[in-house]
Structure 1
Amino acid sequence: LSAVKYADLSQNRTSDYIFSYDKMLNLQGNTAPYLLYAYVRVQGISRKGEIDLDQLTNPRLILQEAPEITLAKHILALEEVLAEVTQDLYPNRLCQYLFELSQKFNQFLEQCPVLKAEEPIRTSRLVLCNLTARTLKLGLSLLGISVLERM
């Protein structure tokens, strides 16, 4: 159901599209399964990180690598995207934002080790992962899609 809902919302409401289960259920591209998998992946890293982020007294982000900076900047753009979606009534813009967030997170993971990094970089990257997960969860919930903890 999430795949169908997301496929519908990810399209510009003023244009036609072809209904295709194959495309909707694909784990690649701008689909609900792709975003849900990204969320599950972030949560898996957080679990392995074994850090209670709520207990951190002063969590700091140390952004040194380009993918970290790119991901953090994209997370910060959520407020602007939500304002546009609310004003123009184009939920596909939120879908595109979430898809790009997932892509930027995957690039971050490829280039920046999280669990094997030395402190304080490790904790900083775990905080960035947590922010990514929270942003994905919020965005998907605004679209009426519940996240999964495991796939």
Structure 2
Amino acid sequence: EFKNAEGNPLPVIVQKAGGGYLYATTDLAAMRYRSQALQADRVLYFVDQRQALHFQMAFEVARRAGFVHDGMQLEHMGFGTMNGADGRPFKTRDGGTVKLVDLLDEAEQRAYNLVKEKNPDLDEAELRQIARAVGISAVKYADLSKHRTSDYRFNFELMLSFEGNTAPYLLYAYTRVASVFRKLGKGIDETDGPIQLEAEQELALAARLAQFGETLNNVGEKGEPHLLCSYLYDLAGLFSSFYEHCPILAAETEQQKQSRLRLAALTGKTLKQGLQLLGLEPLERM
């Protein structure tokens, strides 16, 4: 059922006439191994979306050849390309592609300069540790926060911004929660008492927190990490509004204080788990 541009049957070549092998060969071998040895129920291929036809054909051959068992799901999760700030394919000045290690080193150095400017009193070791976490998280988040099928423009200034849907913004949101408990001299797990939702900011924050499990299920089902990024960005914004309008440590009553502490703790735990699921490193302070 697969045709080329002329309408003729399009074959899957497993071995060339000269004896050579192709991508389809190793992909089919891997599918058979994942089915028979690993007994996988679901296999997700995160590969450039321009390879969609290749995977459609390879999956069909694997099924017809009996290389995979009937219940095994084979899914191609195609993604777009990273382009420079000018919208063209991401290149260095000499025309070669940028190495990942150079990209991460540059991000870390820029983050170091940014953090040092904001916190000149931090000692060098802590500055470097924060800069590494922020820089690498910024690169990861810039990639994961876009819909995976979309091409996007790579821009250091935007990805390292403390405003908008960026890693530094989310990391900072978690440090705000951590700072509340640091001032209190308690751990984030040392809260008790019921949560009482009164102010509209408390209600909005609690409602979004309740959607965390549903969000994770959607990410897993669709293979779209940007859904978790959007959720965490919303959550950070709702916590910011709650933090500004609902005094925690200066609450009117002890009962209200404990309730708001529990809400803040739950936000902190959710942010931390979400960031870690994305491969980001939460920080206690920035």
- TM-score category (smaller protein): over 0.9
Note the C-alpha offset of 1:49. Answer: 2.7
**133-142 vs 41-50, greater mean Cα deviation:** 41-50
Which one of the candidate residues 138, 162, 168 is aligned to 1:3?
Answer: 138
Write out the 4+ residue segments of structure 1 that deviate beyond 6 Å after TM superposition. none
Deviations 1:59-84 (A, max 9, x none): 21011111001101101100000010
Gaps of at least 5 residues in structure 1 are: none
Give 1:101's aligned residue.
Answer: 235
Give 1:68's aligned residue.
Answer: 202
> 3-state DSSP class of the match of 1:120?
helix
Equivalenced residues, count: 150
Contact 1:46 1:129 in 2 (8 A): no
Note the C-alpha offset of 1:52. Answer: 5.2
Give the letter aligned to residue 272 of structure 2.
K
Give 2:9's aligned residue.
Answer: none
C-alpha distance in 1 between matches for 2:189 and 2:236? 23
| TM-aligned CA distance change 1:8 to 1:52, over 3 Å | closer
Note the C-alpha offset of 1:50. Answer: 3.5
Structure with larger RCO (C-alpha < 8 A, sep 6+): 1
Give the letter aligned to residue 139 of structure 1.
G
Larger radius of gyration: 2
Contact 2:174 2:268 in 1 (8 A): yes
Gaps of at least 5 residues in structure 2 are: 1-135
Report which of the two has the higher share of helix: 1
C-alpha distance in 1 between matches for 2:143 and 2:279? 12
Alignment partner of 1:37 is 2:163: no
Deviations 1:26-73 (A, max 9, x none): 0000000000000001110122233456455x5210111110011011
Contact 1:40 1:149 in 2 (8 A): yes
Aligned-residue Cα RMSD (Å) equals 1.3
Report matched runs for 1:76-95 at 5 Å.
76-95=210-229
Give the letter aligned to residue 131 of structure 1.
L
> 3-state DSSP class of the match of 1:122?
helix
TM-score normalised by length of structure 1: 0.95
Contact 1:40 1:150 in 2 (8 A): yes
C-alpha distance in 2 between matches for 1:52 and 1:138? 16
Sequence identity (%): 48
